[in-house]
Structure 1
Amino acid sequence: MRIGIFGTGGMAEALGAHWACAGHELTVAGRSGAEPFAARLGASSGTWREVASAADVLLLAIPAGAIGEVLAEAGPLAGKVLVDCTNHPGLTGTPVASRIATQAHVVKAFNLAHVDIWRNPPRTLAVPLCGDDPAALEAVSTLVRDVGAKPMHGGGLDRAALLEATAAFVIGLWFAGEDAQAILAPAG
């Protein structure tokens, strides 16, 4: 699969490394340092628009405040799968990415676990996916399996706000020093 990565931070690196190992073709765009970052992943780099044009699937791994600017510079994303792993504390309703990239097939995923978990998952994790397009959900499910996790369909994109609210709650627990995993006891 041809994957474009928007961003050069921790999530971009952690997920991109798994996808490079799985044999996907990666291209990277970022505000700074995209070339050395791409070289570490064995990827190529380009502008936001070049990366968007070359990719089948795009990972949106940038600060929430930059989404509008980056997606505007990327140009039309009609028919592209856009994986949104961003979190927007305090915002409710439809995720920002889907409000801006209205012709993309947005799938909310990878936003519940801290970047360090994605670098070296301690066990098989489940990744909730929210999206409306079956083909986009299947493509992202493949990428979830390629990081060693299990895709978990969480409903349509209208439920993505619930994922973001859950992330805000769980991240708050982690920062308070609590074991957030303990809130969901195993069945049995």
Structure 2
Amino acid sequence: MRIGILGTGGMADALGTQWRRAGHEVVVGGRRSGGLREAARSGTDAVLLAVPYEAVVEVVADLADVLRGRVLIDCTNPVGPGFRLLTTGGPAAAERIAAAAPTAHVVKAFNLCHEDVWRLTPPVFDGRPLAVPLCGDDPDALSVVRHLVRDLGCEPLDAGGLDRAALVEATAALLIGLWVGEGADAQAITPPLAFAGPRA
């Protein structure tokens, strides 16, 4: 696949490196000298949005013409000081991104883990591959992102439409607060599947 990555930080480097190892063509662009637009143009199969949340809507709106029809993967976290969710009471970050680029196919993914997790080859813990929840409305876009998740050695999870992205973002705020703020093993807050209650 041809993947464009918007941003040059840790998430861009970690995911981009792994996708290159999996055989994909990856172009990374920053905000200088038109790099974002070049990366967006190069991402004919998928574009990863890996810029700080504070800049994300402006960046996407500026590139809306290039992002037309693109699979746009949102790994941002709208988390502010005190591990506070910045989108409380309003649309999710992913929904704001979709509104800024209404002809792109936005999929929320890869936002629940620190960049160092994505550097693991593969991210498997006690024999269990890491699961990655995906929220999106376009079946073809979700299929592309599932493929990219599996290329990391992870398992994609269907977390619903883009209207459920707010739940994934709120989960990130909770987990970051527990991991970073409290030094807690946040994975311990959920029981194994066998004890999670009856399935619908």
TM-score scaled to structure 2, two decimals? 0.83
Asked whether the equivalents of residues 49 and 75 of structure 1 are also in contact (C-alpha less than 8 Å), the reply is no
Task: Report the residue type matching 1:171 in the other structure.
Answer: I
More displaced stretch, 113-122 vs 77-86: 113-122
Asked whether the equivalents of residues 2 and 26 of structure 1 are also in contact (C-alpha less than 8 Å), the reply is yes
1:78 shift after superposition? 1.4
Counterpart of 1:5 in 2: which secondary structure?
A: strand
Q: Is the counterpart of residue 179 in structure 1 residue 177 in structure 2?
A: no
More displaced stretch, 159-168 vs 22-31: 22-31
Aligned to 1:15: 15
1:126 shift after superposition? 0.3
Cα distance in 2 between the residues matched to 1:31 and 1:48: 6
Cα distance in 2 between the residues matched to 1:7 and 1:168: 21
Q: Is the counterpart of residue 53 in structure 1 residue 41 in structure 2?
A: yes
Asked whether the equivalents of residues 48 and 73 of structure 1 are also in contact (C-alpha less than 8 Å), the reply is no
Pick one of 154, 166, 174 that aligns with 1:161: 166
Cα distance in 1 between the residues matched to 2:136 and 2:50: 17
Aligned to 1:40: none
Q: Is the counterpart of residue 139 in structure 1 residue 144 in structure 2?
A: yes
Asked whether the equivalents of residues 27 and 51 of structure 1 are also in contact (C-alpha less than 8 Å), the reply is yes
Task: Report the residue type matching 2:115 in the other structure.
Answer: V
Counterpart of 2:193 in 1: which secondary structure?
A: coil
Uncovered stretches (5+) of structure 1, i.e. residues with no partner: 35-45
1:122 shift after superposition? 4.2
* Residue deviations 1:77-127 (CA, integer Å, cap 9, x gap): 111000000011221423231221111100000001111111112431000
Runs in 1 of length 4+ with deviation above 3 angstroms?
A: none
The number of residue pairs the alignment matches comes to 176
Larger radius of gyration: 2
Cα distance in 1 between the residues matched to 2:48 and 2:149: 12
Q: Is the counterpart of residue 88 in structure 1 residue 78 in structure 2?
A: yes
Q: Percent identity?
A: 58
Task: Report the residue type matching 2:101 in the other structure.
Answer: A
Cα distance in 2 between the residues matched to 1:29 and 1:98: 20
Q: Is the counterpart of residue 128 in structure 1 residue 118 in structure 2?
A: no
Asked whether the equivalents of residues 7 and 30 of structure 1 are also in contact (C-alpha less than 8 Å), the reply is yes
Q: Is the counterpart of residue 62 in structure 1 residue 51 in structure 2?
A: yes
Cα distance in 1 between the residues matched to 2:132 and 2:104: 21
Cα distance in 1 between the residues matched to 2:173 and 2:133: 15
1:185 shift after superposition? 2.3
Task: Report the residue type matching 1:174 in the other structure.
Answer: W
TM-score scaled to structure 1, two decimals? 0.88
Cα distance in 2 between the residues matched to 1:50 and 1:117: 27
Uncovered stretches (5+) of structure 2, i.e. residues with no partner: 80-84, 195-200
Cα distance in 2 between the residues matched to 1:116 and 1:7: 17
Cα distance in 1 between the residues matched to 2:177 and 2:3: 31
Task: Report the residue type matching 2:78 in the other structure.
Answer: H
